[in-house]
């Protein structure tokens, strides 16, 4: 009876997609319109139509520059980062069958941050990668971190209980955070650049960063969406998934790699932005249920809209001073993390 009453509060899937897309579109328009100079929606539409479709119109060149070169690429980048972290968090939660799992708590964000800080600290540039050095190194260190977390958790406890994996991720996150602090202490001129990057921001990034992020986002997101049926099977336990014909080890590795690609690329272009992968999938799951065929794309859409709104708040709350976007997401995410933890405790640890 209890399960049936819970189901009645779930949204129809079509309704959920409509609401999510309206939320994303509204967030994008609000993020593009707001600022020192407020731009009407009609002008935003005309400018976007001019650049995307090629329509002609009476457009003020200064407004066009503000919208197309400054605000809109910032909104697009925030949307891509939020979508990446949210879908990665939803996938990690499904794989580990734990709503407390996300790139932040598993140490993946910290691993990606170490790679990015190493590139900034030593001015690393791999010849055949060029501008892609930063995201590629971040992705590699993110992948290495998640595998180290799993190996260490297995060494502690062969059964690899979910709580052990989460605690191991937090341990690695703390250790890697100390390593980053050490590099900051040793920096000279790079100190300001590294600290500003670590606080998380999409300010003054522009279209080059969107182009840098896009291929990694597309590859990682498409792979996770492809693996959604396998995540559904694995959510019932590895043994049941094997009986259903799922190659559990192979699919698990693919999910971890795809999630790490998304996290590493997001961290590389924006710095550390926590709790998106924890908060957004949790609320989406409450609204539409645990089916990953819908949970992953809806988390992606909602995550993009959420980070656009968080970035809008970061640059307007105490305007003209701009807050780091990571501060806003942490102020929202930390209390939600505590609420989820207390709720699990009341239910006896059941996800």
pLDDT tens-place string over residues 176-215: 988 888 887 777 666 666 777 777 788 878 899 999 999 9
pTM: 0.88
pLDDT of residue 9: 59
pLDDT at 247 over 60: yes
pLDDT of residue 54: 81
Alpha helices in the chain (DSSP H): 2-7, 13-33, 41-52, 61-65, 72-96, 108-122, 133-156, 162-186, 191-198, 207-226, 228-234, 238-243, 248-270, 276-288, 292-316, 325-346
For residue 289, the tally of other CB atoms under 10 A from its CB is: 16
Which has more pLDDT, 63 or 5?
Answer: 63
pLDDT of residue 210: 93
pLDDT tens digits along 128-187: 888 789 899 999 999 899 889 888 888 887 766 667 777 888 899 889 988 888 887 777
Q: Please say whether the beta carbons of 139 and 265 come within 8 A.
A: yes
CA distance 296 to 285: 10
pLDDT of residue 347: 67
- Phi-psi group of 54: left, alpha or beta (phi > 0 → left; psi -120 to 50 → alpha; rest → beta): left
pLDDT of residue 162: 66
pLDDT at 3 over 60: no
pLDDT of residue 8: 43
User: Torsions phi, psi of 202, nearest 5?
Assistant: -120, 15
CA distance 225 to 221: 6
Q: Please say whether the beta carbons of 147 and 210 come within 8 A.
A: no
- pLDDT, mean of residues 326-337: 82
pLDDT tens digits along 267-311: 989 888 888 998 899 889 989 999 999 999 999 999 999 999 999
The CATH fold assigned to 12-346 is ABC transporter involved in vitamin B12 uptake, BtuC (1.10.3470)
- C-alpha pair distances (Å), 215 with each of 3, 228, 278: 41, 20, 24
User: Torsions phi, psi of 275, nearest 5?
Assistant: 75, -10
In the block, which residue shows the tokens 């930063």? 134
pLDDT at 5 over 60: no
Q: Please say whether the beta carbons of 337 and 98 come within 8 A.
A: no
pLDDT of residue 35: 84
In angstroms, what is the C-alpha Rg of the chain? 20
CA distance 115 to 142: 8
Question: Residue 132 is encoded by which pair of tokens?
Answer: 């892609």
pLDDT tens digits along 226-237: 999 999 998 887
pLDDT tens digits along 28-50: 999 999 988 899 999 999 999 99
């Amino acid at each position: 009876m209890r399960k049936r009453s819970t189901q009645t509060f779930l949204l129809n899937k079509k309704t959920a997609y409509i609401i999510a897309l309206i939320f994303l579109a509204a967030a994008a328009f609000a993020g593009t319109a707001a600022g020192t100079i407020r731009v009407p929606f009609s002008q935003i539409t005309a400018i976007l139509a001019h650049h995307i479709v090629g329509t002609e119109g009476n457009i003020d060149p200064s407004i066009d520059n503000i919208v197309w070169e400054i605000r809109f690429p910032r909104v697009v980048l925030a949307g891509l980062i939020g979508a990446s972290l949210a879908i990665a968090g939803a996938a990690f939660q499904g794989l580990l069958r734990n709503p407390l799992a996300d790139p932040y708590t598993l140490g993946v964000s910290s691993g990606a941050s170490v790679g990015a800080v190493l590139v900034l600290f030593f001015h690393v540039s791999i010849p055949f990668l060029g501008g892609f050095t930063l995201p590629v190194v971040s992705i590699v260190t993110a992948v290495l971190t998640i595998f180290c977390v799993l190996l260490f958790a297995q060494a502690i406890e062969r059964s690899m209980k979910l709580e052990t994996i989460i605690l191991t991720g937090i341990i690695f996150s703390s250790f890697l955070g100390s390593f980053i602090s050490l590099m900051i202490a040793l920096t000279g001129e790079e100190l300001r650049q590294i600290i500003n990057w670590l606080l998380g921001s999409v300010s003054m990034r522009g279209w080059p960063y969107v182009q840098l992020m896009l291929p990694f986002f597309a590859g990682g997101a498409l792979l996770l969406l492809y693996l959604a049926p396998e995540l559904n099977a694995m959510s019932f336990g590895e043994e049941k998934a094997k009986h259903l014909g799922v190659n559990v080890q192979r699919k698990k590795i693919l999910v971890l790699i795809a999630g790490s690609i998304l996290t590493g690329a997001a961290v590389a272009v924006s710095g550390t932005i926590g709790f998106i992968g924890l908060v957004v999938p949790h609320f989406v799951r409450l609204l539409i249920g645990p089916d990953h065929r819908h949970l992953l794309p809806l988390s992606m859409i909602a995550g993009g809209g959420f980070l656009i709104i968080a970035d809008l708040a970061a640059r307007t709350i105490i305007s003209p001073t701009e807050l780091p976007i990571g501060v806003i997401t942490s102020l929202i995410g930390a209390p939600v993390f505590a609420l989820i933890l207390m709720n699990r405790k009341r239910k006896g640890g059941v996800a």
